[in-house]
Amino acid sequence: MSDATLRASGALAGGEAAGEEADDTIFADYVGSGPDGSASIHLLVEGAHCGGCVRRIERALNTENDVLDARMNLSTRRLVIHWRGQAERAGALAATVARLGFTVVPFDPDAAIDSHERRGRELLRAMAVAGFAAANVMLLSVAVWSGHAQDMDPVTRDLFHWISALIALPAIAYAGRPFFRSAVAALAGRSINMDVPISLAILLASAMSLVQTLNGAHHAYFDSAVTLLFFLLVGRYLDHRAKGHVRRAAERLLALSREPATVIGQDGRHHSLAASRVRPGMALFVAAGQRVPADGTIAEGRSALDNSLLTGETVPVEAGPGTAVLAGALNCGGPLTLTATATGDNTVLADIVRLVEAAEQRRSRYVALADRLAAIYAPAVHGLAAGTFLGWLVLGGAAWQDALLAAIAVLIVTCPCALALAVPAVQVVASGRLMKAGTLLKSPTALERLAEVDTVVFDKTGTLTRGRPELTGAETVAPADLRLAASLAAASRHPLARALTRAMPDVAPASGVAEQPGMGLAWTAPGGEVRLGSRAWCGIATLDSDAAMELWLRRADGSTLRLTFHDRPREDAAAVVADLQRRGLAVEMLSGDRVEAARAVADELGIATWRACQSPADKSARLTELAAAGRRVLMVGDGLNDAPALAGAHVSLSPTSAADISQNTADAVFQGALLAPVVDSLLVARQARRLVRQNFALSLAYNAITVPLAVAGVVTPLIAAVAMSSSSLVVVGNALRLTILRRSS
Amino acid sequence: MSGLLLLIPAALLLGLVGLAAFLWSLRSGQFEDLDGAAERILHDDDDDDDPATVSRSR
């Protein structure tokens, strides 16, 4: 990501951009005011991964005189600053954080604290209440069970049943609401989901137990109903958290790439405005390569718009005057003038919602598997329970109460408690483990698709290599020439010029350097013109055969000198490639670079299959070819040119140094200067798949044993409660093994 | 048997106290940042968290 993009996107980046002027209005737009007249702003901080970072940020801000409080949340990477004074201070405070080397973007907390978080809290509260009730009812039930063996006084037993009822019924009424609501919604839509048998089992068990208690009978299932609810809520909450991780990752990437709008004023002048401040009717300017900041219609200009972020279409759409465009579309062609039609708030929010919905639609096949199971499971359970009731009533000649009791027992033991825990427990543990290692999953299905991979395709520049050239052979060049070249290079943002400046950091820039785009730099020295740039710029006609990146320096006297640069592979690239090959994965490299440059890297890293001079279309064609051959490909890439390939691969990974669009396209993003997260992600995904399968097997085995017992009518409350709790604990325990499984396995 | 009349309410009361404490901690935002809280305890913040030092340095 270049400095220019970061500034254009309203973000303040660490490092080189830190010293530059912030666009204060962008930050001031997000400032809220407290009751005591203090101002506050919420910022997303990218790049903070440990307590040390939190401490540096908070300390730097707290030493500012007007800052009342600065607190960073490490889980959500959100920073809240309260200060006394003007809203305009926000830009300066954000710059303070940026100077420490972090990238910060403002965000609107009202948009972020949404129904998702509220639902999370509701589930947690329900879980706490159900847990409390389950523990206490179980305490009483154990006494009743042991009473069966030791002739408990019926009066005491009834008392215990009554107390259980008083605890369990209100708890069920409160904590069961998430399930009841979902079941009612499903029934209203004339369909059945997993929550229907769950709600039915809980309600019938409670009602039956109440009747038993009223009649002073033996069997009350309060304990089963409440523990069932508790374990189901645990599963629901874990699932919710796993989705929250994915969602936050997507949200953060989106906020980072959110761009301010360029508004054309009445006087025809351009000024930038936060996208949230755009109002309908404003004229907006969208340069080539920018994202459309707000919904609108094109007033002037023709271009191609890439809607892939919005619709998943990979082919850009032609657009001209009168075409309606959506916020988030990427302008791939010429400059456009738009008339905004929707308010900025709506579109920025809509942007997040669209991205998140897209992510949520690609639901995990694990969960989808559970849903498919539910489609068979729910009717089967209802049929089985009804069959049991009728069977006992008609064939067995039992009293209707006993027949109903057996039917309820069937409903309780078949309740997919362990099944509902099987997937979320594994996913939470796996994504937590990857998160700790710096890998953010963006798609809920990424884990499962990663587990199926048999081929890994790498991009070269920026993925296998560090993506920034370094000066080579500096010792063979006279220091005076290097200094001269560096003094010119300081004036340019060209990557090779920047590499030269990095290699010679203490050289003062020459003044009056002119840049000819695509050619090079010229500076009029006392003795004549000095040039730095391409071969042609310096008047060299011949071609060298080696592949090195080069800059030529033409001194004032007309003599020339060649400077070569090299893009070094990441430190562990060779080890990672070897490790992948040892594990039986095919490794390929697709590079847009020249043949010689690609060969040098492929040979160094031991990659036998590689292609050079690949256009973005060539790359995705190669992936299609591999997919047609039945290969499951993991694509690792970072550049704009990799985006189509990333989208087309079975699963894709991007380093966090990647272009915005690649990060948006990839299924997961990894941090750091090493490639090791690629191997780690594959291993964790494979372990997760193994554990999910084991968990499904465990819960089906549990059903295979208990269902016949329930149909036979021999499941007492004791057996139901013990079987259900133990199966749930076994499944969760199995998922937790993922944290202790060794890397090498 | 009469012991039950004391013990059961006592058990329930203790459970309720635990539940109330959890709900309170949830409401007061103690579960908002589990990762950060784990790290914060390691910070040796003598110099900027001690009010006396802060007022001197400002």
A29 as an active site residue: the answer is: no
* CB < 8 Å to A65, chain B: 58
Mean pLDDT of A104-113: 67
Considering only CA atoms, which of B53, B22, B30 is closest in space to residue A63? B53
Provide the 8-state DSSP code for A82: E
pLDDT confidence of A587, banded at 50, 70, 90?
Answer: very high
Which residues contact residue A732 at a Cβ distance below 8 angstroms, ignoring those fewer than 6 apart? Answer: A234, A421, A425
ipTM of the complex: 0.74
Length of chain B: 58
Break chain A into its structural domains and give their ranges. Answer: 3-107, 116-245+363-426+689-740, 261-355, 439-466+570-671, 470-566
* Confidence at residue A517, expressed as pLDDT on a 0 to 100 scale: 57
Mean pLDDT of A376-385: 79
pLDDT confidence of A353, banded at 50, 70, 90?
Answer: very low
pLDDT confidence of A582, banded at 50, 70, 90?
Answer: very high
CA atoms within 13 A on the CB side of A92: 10
Length of chain A: 745
Quote helix, strand, coil % in chain A, to nearest 5: 55, 15, 30
Which residues contact residue A30 at a Cβ distance below 8 angstroms, ignoring those fewer than 6 apart? Answer: A41, A42, A90, A106, A107, A108, A274
Which residues contact residue A31 at a Cβ distance below 8 angstroms, ignoring those fewer than 6 apart? Answer: A39, A40, A41, A87, A90
* Confidence at residue A348, expressed as pLDDT on a 0 to 100 scale: 44
What CATH number should be reported for the domain whose range is A3-107? 3.30.70.100
Closest CB from B1, B23, B39 relative to A51: B39
Residue A16 has pLDDT above 50, yes or no: no
Contacts A–B by Cβ distance under 8 A: 59
- Report d(CA A359, CA A594) in Å as an integer: 36
Residue A374 has pLDDT above 70, yes or no: no
* Confidence at residue A445, expressed as pLDDT on a 0 to 100 scale: 73
Residue A365 has pLDDT above 70, yes or no: no
Tokens 């027992």 identify what position? A409
Tokens 């997303």 identify what position? A44
Considering only CA atoms, which of A379, A408, A418 is closest in space to residue A228? A418
The token pair that represents A525 in the structure block: 């020295």
pLDDT confidence of A288, banded at 50, 70, 90?
Answer: low
For the domain A439-466+570-671, what is the CATH superfamily, name and number? HAD superfamily/HAD-like (3.40.50.1000)
Which residues contact residue A395 at a Cβ distance below 8 angstroms, ignoring those fewer than 6 apart? Answer: none
The answer to whether the CB atoms of A65 and B12 lie below 8 A apart is: no
Torsion, Cα A275 A276 A277 A282, to 10 degrees, reads 50
Chain B residue with minimal CA distance to A74?
A: B36
pLDDT confidence of A2, banded at 50, 70, 90?
Answer: very low
What digits encode the pLDDT tens for the residues A596-649?
778 888 998 999 899 887 776 778 788 888 888 988 889 898 765 666 677 677
pLDDT confidence of B53, banded at 50, 70, 90?
Answer: very low
Alpha-carbon distances of A115 from A112, B24, B32, rounded to whole Å:
9, 21, 16
Closest CB from A54, A65, A140 relative to B39: A54
Tokens 């592979």 identify what position? A569
What digits encode the pLDDT tens for the residues A443-483?
767 888 888 899 999 988 778 888 677 888 777 888 888 88
Alpha-carbon distances of A162 from A140, A144, A166, A209, rounded to whole Å:
10, 12, 6, 10
Closest CB from B22, B38, B43 relative to A128: B22
Residue A139 forms contact with B (CB below 8 Å): yes
Residue A553 main-chain phi, psi, to 5 deg: -115, 125
Residue A239 main-chain phi, psi, to 5 deg: -60, -45
What digits encode the pLDDT tens for the residues A682-720?
999 998 888 888 888 888 888 888 888 888 877 776 777
What CATH number should be reported for the domain whose range is A261-355? 2.70.150.10
- Most B CBs within 10 A among A57, A62, A74, hence the mutation to make, goes to A74
The answer to whether the CB atoms of B19 and A132 lie below 8 A apart is: yes
Q: What percent of chain A has pLDDT over 90?
A: 8
DSSP-H helix ranges across A362-494? 365-390, 400-414, 417-436, 446-451, 479-489
The answer to whether the CB atoms of B33 and A76 lie below 8 A apart is: yes
DSSP-H helix ranges across A589-672? 595-605, 616-628, 643-648, 660-665
The answer to whether the CB atoms of A136 and B11 lie below 8 A apart is: yes
pLDDT confidence of A10, banded at 50, 70, 90?
Answer: very low
| Cβ A348 vs Cβ A258: under 8 Å | yes
Residue A680 has pLDDT above 70, yes or no: yes
Break chain B into its structural domains and give their ranges. Answer: 2-57
Residue A359 has pLDDT above 50, yes or no: no
The answer to whether the CB atoms of B23 and A54 lie below 8 A apart is: no
Is residue A149 within a helix (H) or strand (E), and if so which, with residue range? Answer: helix A115-149
Alpha-carbon distances of A23 from A98, A387, A389, rounded to whole Å:
13, 71, 72
Residue A230 has pLDDT above 60, yes or no: yes
- Report d(CA A480, CA A555) in Å as an integer: 11
pLDDT confidence of A164, banded at 50, 70, 90?
Answer: very high
pLDDT, averaged across chain A: 77
Torsion, Cα A572 A578 A583 A586, to 10 degrees, reads 110
In CATH, the architecture of A470-566 is: 3-Layer(aba) Sandwich (3.40)
The token pair that represents A661 in the structure block: 């669009």
